[in-house]
């Protein structure tokens, strides 16, 4: 029996999917349901289901990032979307991230059955003619790339704050360990190396203003210790902040 998790913030949808679909006919059973994205992620990580059917327009979540997180963390898991959000570009991005079916509410029962048949066929490696071939490693890689881009965007926006790998992982719905692995794979750098480089880039711009003291710049870009800032700056640029500022004046 394939284990299924259903995620939707509408109670009637969850109730309908759980009771109306004859899951046993598809060799499936509903292992759990969740009412929002974060609850759904926690449940999915706990139960590790074979199939997830989820809405992606729920409060306090980024649907595409959640889908990418699941695809990158559980590449064999089959995902289908059931949503009222009718946007072609959004649906195309979801498909590119490895979603099996993008179903619009109210979905016809035969469409839902076809999606379930397709997902179970993929799981059982059964031949089928109606749907594309199982998702390739490249498509799973696209999910990882999506997560890394989202993480880097968040880091750039908040790099001058006291952020940690855990903070960023929470924003992109993956574990710290998984995010660290993805960042290393896609950038060949660590989280701390990337964060330091972003802070130093901000510092370079501030050093062009001679009225700003070095310690003030250090604080503005996220360093509480001037010595640590100077050491990090030199590691990235080859110069101390004072040397770098002096070089600006010589241009």
Residue 3 DSSP SS3: strand
Pick the CATH number of 2-124 from 3.40.50.2300, 3.40.50.300, 3.90.1150.10, 2.60.40.1530: 3.40.50.2300
pTM: 0.78
- 239 touches 199 (CB < 8 A): no
Q: Which pLDDT tens digit goes with each residue over 174-210?
A: 999 999 999 999 999 999 999 999 999 999 999 999 9
- 59 touches 36 (CB < 8 A): yes
What strands, in cross-sheet order, belong to the sheet with 2-7?
Answer: 28-34, 2-7, 51-54, 78-83, 101-104
- 151 touches 172 (CB < 8 A): yes
What is the Cα–Cα distance from 86 to 103, expressed in whole angstroms? 10
Asked if the domains at 2-124 and 194-249 fall in one CATH topology, the answer is no
User: To the nearest whole percent, how much of the chain has pLDDT over 90?
Assistant: 64
Nearest CA among 133, 174, 130 for reference residue 154:
174
Hey, where are the domains in the chain?
Answer: 2-124, 137-192, 194-249
Tokens read off for 114: 């076809």
Q: Which pLDDT tens digit goes with each residue over 207-239?
A: 999 999 999 999 999 998 899 999 999 999 999
CATH topology of domain 194-249: Arc Repressor Mutant, subunit A (1.10.10)
CATH superfamily for domain 137-192? Homeodomain-like (1.10.10.60)
| Average pLDDT for the chain | 89
Q: Which pLDDT tens digit goes with each residue over 27-54?
A: 999 999 998 888 888 899 999 999 999 9
115 confidence band (pLDDT: 50, 70, 90): very high
């Amino acid at each position: 029996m394939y284990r299924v998790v259903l995620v939707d913030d509408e109670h009637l949808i969850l109730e309908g999917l759980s009771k109306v679909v004859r899951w046993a006919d598809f060799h499936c059973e509903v292992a759990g349901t969740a009412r929002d994205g974060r609850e759904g992620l926690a449940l999915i990580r706990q139960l590790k289901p074979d199939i997830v059917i989820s809405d992606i327009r729920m409060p306090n979540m980024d649907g595409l990032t959640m889908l990418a997180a699941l695809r990158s963390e559980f590449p064999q898991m089959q995902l289908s979307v059931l949503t009222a959000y009718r946007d072609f570009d959004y649906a195309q991005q979801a498909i590119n991230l490895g979603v099996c079916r993008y179903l619009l509410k109210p979905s016809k029962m035969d469409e839902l059955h076809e999606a379930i048949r397709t997902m179970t066929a993929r799981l059982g490696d059964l031949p089928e003619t109606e749907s594309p071939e199982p998702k390739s490693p490249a498509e799973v890689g696209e999910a990882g790339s999506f997560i890394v881009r989202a993480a880097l965007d968040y880091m750039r926006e908040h790099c001058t704050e006291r952020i940690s790998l855990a903070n960023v992982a929470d924003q992109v719905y993956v574990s710290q360990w998984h995010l660290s692995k993805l960042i290393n794979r896609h950038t060949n750098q660590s989280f701390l190396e990337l964060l330091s480089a972003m802070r130093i880039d901000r510092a370079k711009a501030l050093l062009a203003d001679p009225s700003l003291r070095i310690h003030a710049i250090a604080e503005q870009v996220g360093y509480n210790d001037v010595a640590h800032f100077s050491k990090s700056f030199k590691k990235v640029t080859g110069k101390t902040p004072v040397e770098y500022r002096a070089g600006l004046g010589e241009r």
